[in-house]
Structures are given as C-alpha cells and as structure tokens.
Chain A
Amino acid sequence: MNKARLTLAFLAAAALAAPASPQDGAAPSGAVAITAKRFEFEPAEIHLKAGEDATLAVTSKDVTHGFFSRQFGFDEDLVPGKTVEVHFKPANPGRYTVICDHYCGSGHGGMKLTVVVE
C-alpha cells in the first residue's frame, strides 16, 4: 500500500486504513466476504458503521482484479485463488465507491463496490 496515500486518508478523516495481508483460505470471523469476477463485485453493496473497525476479505474468482479506494486508502491486486484482507475504519457516514483498477476486459469500467457508511 502507498503509505503517502494512507497518510492522506488519515488527514482527510474519511477512513483509517491498515495494510492488507494476502492470505489463503476463507474469510476470517467478522470479515465481510466479497467476491470479484468480471465485471462485478458480489455483493455489489455493503454497509459499515462509522468509527468501527472493518475487515473485508476479497477473493477473485477468475482473473486478476484490483481493489482500490482513494478515500479509504487501499489499492490491492486480487490474484485468483488468494483472499486479500483489507482492514480500515470508515470515519464519516456516506456512500463510497471502491473500484477494480486492474483492467480486466471491456466491461471493466463499470466494476465497482458501493460502501455505505452509516
């Protein structure tokens, strides 16, 4: 993860993110499991609580995807078969968009996850 970007995320008070760690296997207890496949995330929308730690466990089912949010301060590659955990603490309520930023085909531009922070 880009530490400078992470610092910006702190300053923006939008979220507190921690480095993600690639792992094999299933999502840990309490994590929100997310699947990436061309050209969508499943589920397409998740809900989190402002000010509470969140863990997303993201797995690609087909090709390499990206998992990127400037506001939350993460940018991960999702290699098929590897579950990537993303830890962060959303600070402010609102609707945020996480995108796939690793080009995965002609439908790539619409591949996004909506994070609703309540």
Chain B
Amino acid sequence: MKPLDRRRFFKISAVGLGAGALYQFAAPALGKAGEAARRLGRMNGETPGSFSFVQFSDTHVGFNGAPNPEGTRAFERAVEMVNALEAKPELVLFTGDLTHDSEKPGEHADRMRLFKKIASGLAVSKVHCVPGEHDAALDGGVLFRDAFGPTSYSFDHRGVHFIGLDNVSLGKPAVGREQLGWLRNDLARFPKTAPIIVFTHRPLFDLRPDWEWFTSDGDQVLQALAPYENVTVLYGHIHREDIHRDGHTAHYASRSLIFAFPDPEAGVPKKPLPFDAAKPFANLGIRRITAGADASRPVTVDEVELTLKEHAGTVGMQQLRKEGEAL
C-alpha cells in the first residue's frame, strides 16, 4: 500500500473485522489540525478527543448460497468480537448491503428486521448505516428509509465530520445531482483542515469498472472533497480489502461478512471464492491499520482472520487481542 503523509490529521490505528475495521482516532492538540477539531467541537457542542470506531460491510442478511451456507454466523461472530474488545468503540458504521434483496412479498422487510436484531447486539451507543444496491436499488431506497432513515446524511462526533453517501438507490452506481448539491453545501460549513470521514457503499473511484467497482459521478464527489486536507473514505461492495490514495483522500475497502471476491488482477472471473467448511471465516478476516508506529512506514496494514470461538487460540484471535489491548 502507499504510505500516508505523517502530517495527516486523521491518525488511524485499526482492527478490521471481516465486515470492517476498528479505527482509533487520535485528535491532535496543536497546530491547524487541532484548531480545526476544536472549532468543530464548538460547532457541534462535543468535546474533541480520541476515540475508536468500527466499520462493518456487506453482511447480506438473508443470503443463502454455496459461497456461504452459514448465513449470518460471521456477522454474529463479528458482533461478539467487537463487544469483547477492552477499549469499546464509540460508533459502528455499516457501509451497505446490510441485507440480501428478495422479491418475495415481505421477505426483504423480514431481512431488514433480522439485520436490526443482530446489529442491536452491538454494545455501542451509535450505529449508522448507508445502503448497498441489495438494500435499496430495486425500490429506490423505500424499504431502507422505513427501517433506517435517510440514505445520505452527515453528523459530527468528537471533532470529526462523518458523511454518509448513497451511491446505490438511483439503481445505477451514481450519487446523482441532488445529492452532490447537498454534499457541496454540507462541506462548505467546514474549514479545509477539518477531519472528514465519508462512508459509502461503492468505491468513488474507478477501481474496476468492468466488475462494476466504480461510481459514475464519483469524480465529482472527489472534486468536492479535494480542497479538504484530511479526508478518509470507507466503503464496501468489493468484498475484499483495498487501500487507495488519491490526493488528500485515502480510500479503504472493507471485507464482507458473507463471502469474498477474488483479486481482479488475478485474471479470474468475478465469482465468490468457494466456501471452506474447515475455515468458515476464511477471507472474511480482520484488517488492522496502524499509523505512525514506524517512521519508514507511516501506515502499516495487517490482515487478521475473523476467528471462531472454538479456534480462539489461532493467530487471528491472538492478533485481535493484542491490538484490542493496545487500543
């Protein structure tokens, strides 16, 4: 991966959990970045400070197929693992495809309810979601809005501005003119040094257009974000980890909690990796990101597999415990 600038305001130390990553935010006390955080705190009444949060993605509640015949088991396990962390995250972000769509009357709504039931087990005070195409593309987001509220919105937390973007409910991989206008107005309130985290479903850049890993007007989103110095984009959709640097913006893709897609550079078809009953959580693993630990490698990324309780002695669990303690 490409190293991030050490001057970046957003200091990340993270453990990804199959569905995502546990991020630790370290708010700087000095300099322009510190001023920006304090100004943001004055605007929203919150006290800027260090905190951690978790990203989940692509839980696909209701999916039932050969790539993962165990349904929600990995999602439920990830909830347990987050709850077991000694340093409790303050937020959980879900970056789309919470559910797998169904055209049987009432079935998709049932899946939304099951998702909410499992997610309600998270021992965190705030959970925020954006839709994936399986949640909202067939009905334009009607069911999602009924269950979760708006498909795009923003909020502040401890000096960080979070923006949830919807790039699915138009049916195509697009944000759309109306949402772009809202985004520009939302951003205009903030200084250029404000720490901004965008969470969305599809990549906002051309990662692999012929696999539909893109957003057609993502370039306009990135243009709106370009003046801001501390932007991190978290997304899902591709069911595998990926890190991409674009100007001031760092893009992090999260693994799925249902099945993984292969590396598109491997020259293989876009088909889910096969299920391995001996390793049911293989490729649904954990991603750890650490910033600032080593001057020669400002950001390092380690992959840690999501583990079963019965496999609690595995390397993956040891890595998670070690990082959890550090956090």
Contacts and interface: CB of A to CB of B under 8 A. Distances in A.
Nearest to A97: B210
A105 interface: yes
Interface in A13-51: none
A76 to B, nearest CB: 11
A70 B206 contact: yes
Given A70-B206, A101-B172, A101-B173, A106 B212 contact: no
A90 to B, nearest CB: 15
B134 A101 contact: no
Interface string A72-106: 00010100000000000000000011010111011
A37 to B, nearest CB: 15
B4 interface: no
A106 B210 contact: no
Interface residues of B, number: 22
Nearest to A100: B212
B251 interface: no
15 contacts: A64-B171, A66-B172, A68-B209, A70-B214, A99-B210, A99-B212, A101-B212, A101-B216, A103-B138, A105-B101, A106-B100, A106-B102, A108-B133, A110-B270, A112-B210
B172 A70 contact: no
A103 B172 contact: yes
A56 to B, nearest CB: 17
B93 interface: no
B306 interface: no
The 10 closest A-B CB pairs, nearest first, are: A103-B137, A70-B209, A97-B210, A103-B133, A102-B171, A102-B172, A101-B172, A103-B171, A99-B212, A101-B212
B60 to A, nearest CB: 10
Contacts of B212: 99, 101, 109
Contacts of A106: 100-102, 134
Given A2-B216, A75-B216, A110-B270, A105 B210 contact: no
Contacts of B214: 70
Question: What is the size category of the interface that chain A forms with chain B?
Answer: 20 to 34
Contacts of A96: 210
A106 B214 CA distance: 18
Interface in B202-231: 206, 209-212, 214, 216, 219
Contacts of A99: 210-212
B113 to A, nearest CB: 19
B225 to A, nearest CB: 18
Contacts of B102: 106
B91 interface: no
Nearest to B169: A103
B168 interface: yes
Contacts of A66: 172
B103 interface: yes
